[in-house]
Structure 1
Amino acid sequence: MPQLYLQDSAPFKSGQKFYWGSLYGSAQALALIEFSKAQDQVVLIIADNISHFDQIVKSLQFYNDGLDILTFDNWEVLAFDHFSPHPDITSSRLSTLAKLPSLTKGIVITTLESLSQHLCPLEFSQKYSFSLQIGDVIDTHSFAEKLLRIGYNRVTTVMEHGEFSVKGSLIDLYPMGAKSPYRLDLFDQEIDSIRTFDTSTQRSVDVTNALSLLPAREFATDAESLNIFKQNYLSAFNRTNDFIYTEVTESRLPGGIEFYSSLFFTHTNTLFDYLADNTIIAHYQGFSDLADTTFAEIHDRHQQASQNLDRPPLPLQQVFLSKEQLFNQIKQRQQLVIGTSKLEEKPGQLNFASKLLPPLNIDAQAKHPLAKFLNFNKKFRGKILIVCESEGRQSVLTDLLNNHDLAPINVDHWH
């Protein structure tokens, strides 16, 4: 790969677009990693869809070497649907929102729909997050009530993010954003020990001295938040006999409540507000068409949901930014447009020396399974990196190559 971003190049100017061309496959991720390392600012990548999002994340993690990479996941439910996102998705989103205000360099990946959502205010995580450490004194009843108010579910056995259980002097809980659940062992009302545990065996694993808890939902259900919800719902619909209002006021949170989350706050923010003003926004060729399609789908979903008179959706502008608002936010920031097409050689446009590989698949049924690869290897003047899905596949491929007098070297990293 050539030098992607020259250190002596003039920095982006506000509103300026810079174009990358001739980038194929994972070369896009490598270019973004090298580019981001050269910046003293955050790069926000807008994926085309959920599948593209997953692909970008995996590619970036493969090439990454010390750069902070955060994901702001899509809820993976249809807009205005009656299903809530999986707790692991909510956990990841809340963890990212808590880290973004202090992020000054690195990469953030999201989708267009997630970028357009109205989110909890900037102060939400700080207000409803807290820490525990050995020696703290807690009352189990009050502690359980506090967890319930910030969205945690009380269960018999803790298995997923956002769950907790109280069994005598033991408290199990799985904080949002945590890699493992925790087990608190109390001596009277004092935390005597904190251990992580395995959800599959329920056995304790490692000892730690402290833990941090994020709220379990992207809104709270304490008395203050519920009062705000009631006022906002009445203002939005001018009635209080609807399904959503009744469920929430009776402390039940139905599936899809996330599409009413703005009602729990006096104001909301968007992902743009969580990011620094000098954030570079990277998106892909065809972004305008993607925006047209995405907002058309959201509008259609809203129209369909509006047919349910007992569960009317919030006005569209209280859930998502409009397309005009979204583009206005993007235009205020520096932009990087990524594509595969070769660009005209002129300032602000850069073509890379990446190419699509020819078909190199191994045909196990053929007389010579490695024929395509061996032919490519004879002509190519350079190093070839082969990434295997498992150690078993690696062993099989190594044997095949050895049979053709090729001795591959096993490496732990692409470098």
Structure 2
Amino acid sequence: MLGLPFFRRGRSPHAFDRDDRFAILTASIHRLPAGFGSSDAWLLAQRLAPENATAASAAHDDPTERPPVTGKTRVIVCAQPADCSRLAAEIAWFAPALAIARLPDWETLPYDSLSPHQDLVSERLSALYRLQGRKLDVLLVAASTAAHRLAPPSWLASRTFQFSQGMKLDEAALKAQLTLAGYEHVEQVLRPGEYTVRGGLIDLFPMGSPLPYRLDLFDDELDSLRTFDPDTQRSLYPVKAVKLLPGREFPLDEAARSAFRGRWRERFDGDPSRVALYRDIGNGVTASGIEYYLPLFFDETATLFDYLPEDAEIILHGDVQGQLQAFRADARQRFDFIGHDAERPALTPDELFLSPEQFFVRSQAFAR
């Protein structure tokens, strides 16, 4: 139901302030206040779960491959990041048939010279891939995370591959493909984004996968695929196919590095050869905090809204408006403090994040 902005006594009804604009922008979007205990999760589960869903729908070894059952994607934007994890677990308990995922935060502050943990990047790429492919019933995301600009959906789709049992596979070509996708060659595979080759065996931990895989080659044919335990290195159970997502949220091939350097020279003044981060990218090294230069890897960045199916629905949980405004103020303050360092210049908040107004304008297309 559409709401009307609140007019203060003594003001002209045409004299809108920022709060009035937000009231209009959010009027048609479902809003759910933070509840007591698990009441909010129960209400969401009752609203989102289809009546004919059964517990059998939830029987799947890998929850990241659970098929959707509602035919429609709902995105729950939480004001508090902690509510994303809580709601994901509790909604899954109340409605186990739903295909649910989180889009986790990088867990870094704006303009940090730290990079997110590889497990977080893995979970993010998996969520975006499933979201783009209409393979989710529910996505949970923090408001500040939803404001980040992202790699274009077309890039993620073009860098995702699949291997299946019985296909022809050239070992040298596979190694080149893994390197191009951003995977790291290691002695022993332990975490997402790593691979190793030992004779005819290839151990591979795809991004977005809960377990690594062991590929057994017979000549140039993929003879078998099995999961294995990264701690014991023992094989677990066979699978028919393996999905390979990119190893990072940005490309690092020669063309991408060249484009990055070109855009850096256009964007920043001074001698770029004096900047360690610029030199690292030229050498194919991912410097810590490179994620806050993501727009320099692409002609255009995307946002979470570009990954949503046209019939998706957005639900706001808690004071999303206030959280977006606080995040914007923090990003601006940090940019003003550290953004003009000649040895590590920074992109503006507008280049990296959606403003609160932009977020709610884009949300209007998904208000149901």
Q: Same fold per TM (> 0.5)?
A: yes
Q: CA deviation at 1:21?
A: 6.5
Partner Cα separation in structure 2 for residue 294 and residue 148 of structure 1? 35
Which of 124, 133, 149 is equivalent to 2:164? 133
Q: Within the alignment, does 1:300 sit opposite 2:323 as a pair? A: no
Q: Within the alignment, does 1:121 sit opposite 2:152 as a pair? A: yes
- Residues 41-120 of structure 1 correspond to what in structure 2 (within 5 A)? 41-103=72-134, 106-120=137-151
Which of 238, 247, 252 is equivalent to 2:285? 252
Amino acid aligned to 1:306: G
Partner Cα separation in structure 1 for residue 212 and residue 45 of structure 2? 32
Give ranges in structure 1 of 5+ residues lacking alignment: 1-13, 336-415
Indicate if the aligned counterparts of 1:175 and 1:212 stay in contact, CA closer than 8 A: yes
Which residue does 2:186 correspond to in 1?
A: 155
The one-character-per-residue Cα deviations of 1:63-100 (angstroms, maximum 9, x if unpaired) are 12312212111111111111111111111111111111
- Residues 234-313 of structure 1 correspond to what in structure 2 (within 5 A)? 234-238=265-269, 239-241=271-273, 242-313=275-346
* CA distance 1:18–1:162, shift in 2 (3 Å): closer
The one-character-per-residue Cα deviations of 1:197-227 (angstroms, maximum 9, x if unpaired) are 1101011111223211010111111222222
Which residue does 1:362 correspond to in 2?
A: none
Give ranges in structure 2 of 5+ residues lacking alignment: 1-25, 51-69
* CA distance 1:285–1:129, shift in 2 (3 Å): closer
Indicate if the aligned counterparts of 1:134 and 1:193 stay in contact, CA closer than 8 A: yes
Which residue does 1:338 correspond to in 2?
A: none
Q: CA deviation at 1:313?
A: 1.5
Indicate if the aligned counterparts of 2:29 and 2:315 stay in contact, CA closer than 8 A: no
Which residue does 2:28 correspond to in 1?
A: 16
Q: Within the alignment, does 1:226 sit opposite 2:243 as a pair? A: no
TM-score, normalised to structure 2's length? 0.81
> Is the helix fraction higher in 1 or 2?
2
Root-mean-square deviation (CA), in Å? 2.3
Partner Cα separation in structure 2 for residue 40 and residue 137 of structure 1? 35
Partner Cα separation in structure 1 for residue 118 and residue 106 of structure 2? 10
Indicate if the aligned counterparts of 2:34 and 2:318 stay in contact, CA closer than 8 A: no
Q: CA deviation at 1:42?
A: 2.4
* CA distance 1:251–1:176, shift in 2 (3 Å): same
- Residues 160-171 of structure 1 correspond to what in structure 2 (within 5 A)? 160-171=191-202
Which of 208, 226, 229 is equivalent to 1:198? 229
Indicate if the aligned counterparts of 2:78 and 2:318 stay in contact, CA closer than 8 A: no
* CA distance 1:206–1:307, shift in 2 (3 Å): same
Amino acid aligned to 2:214: R
Partner Cα separation in structure 2 for residue 285 and residue 92 of structure 1? 24
Partner Cα separation in structure 2 for residue 326 and residue 112 of structure 1? 9
Q: Within the alignment, does 1:315 sit opposite 2:348 as a pair? A: yes
* CA distance 1:15–1:105, shift in 2 (3 Å): farther
Partner Cα separation in structure 2 for residue 333 and residue 60 of structure 1? 21
Aligned length: 323
The one-character-per-residue Cα deviations of 1:121-156 (angstroms, maximum 9, x if unpaired) are 111122111111233333333322221121111111
Which of 47, 51, 60 is equivalent to 1:35? 47
Indicate if the aligned counterparts of 1:15 and 1:332 stay in contact, CA closer than 8 A: no
Amino acid aligned to 1:78: L
Give secondary structure in 1 for the equivalent of 2:77: strand
Mean Cα deviation higher: 315-324 or 28-37: 315-324
Give secondary structure in 1 for the equivalent of 2:272: coil
Which residue does 1:10 correspond to in 2?
A: none
Give secondary structure in 1 for the equivalent of 2:315: strand
Amino acid aligned to 1:240: P
Larger Rg belongs to: 1
Mean Cα deviation higher: 154-163 or 306-315: 306-315
Mean Cα deviation higher: 173-182 or 231-240: 231-240
Mean Cα deviation higher: 38-47 or 305-314: 38-47
* CA distance 1:135–1:232, shift in 2 (3 Å): same
Amino acid aligned to 1:16: S
Indicate if the aligned counterparts of 1:278 and 1:334 stay in contact, CA closer than 8 A: no
